[in-house]
Homo-oligomer: A and B are copies of this chain.
Amino acid sequence: MSRRSAQGVDDLFAKASSAWKEQGSRMTSVRKILCQEAFATTGPFGPEDLLTKARSIDKLISPATVYRTLAQLVQLGLLREVAGPRNQRLFLVLDSPTAGISHVLCSDCGQMIPLADPCLHLREGALARQQGFSPTKISLQVEARCDEWREKGSCPRRRADQDAP
């Protein structure tokens, strides 16, 4: 998994710290670990992913704390929740107006491939605001079969734990 630049991570980390402090909360050592691991991730990640990464640093971190922290980071506007394939919950770091929130979901392997399209992002916000809504969660589902699937009969990204559609 690719990682965000140290500069970007520090930026986000500072934002989280001050946002928490502002509301009487603290940047604790557990939250530090969770933030570092979450913010360093460039792609979408699930609660389970984050827990695993965090536990590679501190084995005692519990799922409860991961869920609590994720909810807070979404509420602070640093993460956005998106709908993943097969009802997974996924989170994305929101660190710039160009944050890629569009994705293609492969019908075969279920994998989510990000689409970078700032224009689309702006458009989504505008659409929602037009009708009197403030967006909190955005999910674009493009159901598709990848070219490899059509040519070779199976998707190269398919994971072993997945069943045929």
Interface residues of A, Cβ cutoff 8 Å to B:
75, 82-83, 85, 87, 89, 102, 104-107, 113, 115, 117, 119-120, 123-124, 127-128, 131-148, 150, 165
A interface, by DSSP: helix, strand, loop or mixed? strand
| Residues on the B chain within 8 Å of A107, using CB | 136-137
| Residues on the B chain within 8 Å of A139, using CB | 83, 140-141, 143
Contact B127 A150 (CB under 8 A): no
- Complex alpha-carbon distance, A135 and B113, angstroms: 13
Q: How far is the CB of A50 from chain B (nearest CB, A)?
A: 17
Contact A106:B123 (CB < 8 A) given known A83-B87, A87-B89: no
Contact B104 A133 (CB under 8 A): yes
Can you report 27 A-B residue pairs in the complex whose CB atoms are below 8 A from each other?
Answer: A83-B83, A83-B87, A83-B141, A85-B137, A87-B87, A104-B128, A104-B133, A105-B137, A113-B133, A117-B127, A120-B120, A120-B127, A123-B123, A124-B142, A127-B142, A128-B142, A128-B144, A133-B144, A133-B146, A134-B144, A135-B142, A135-B143, A136-B143, A136-B144, A139-B141, A140-B140, A141-B141
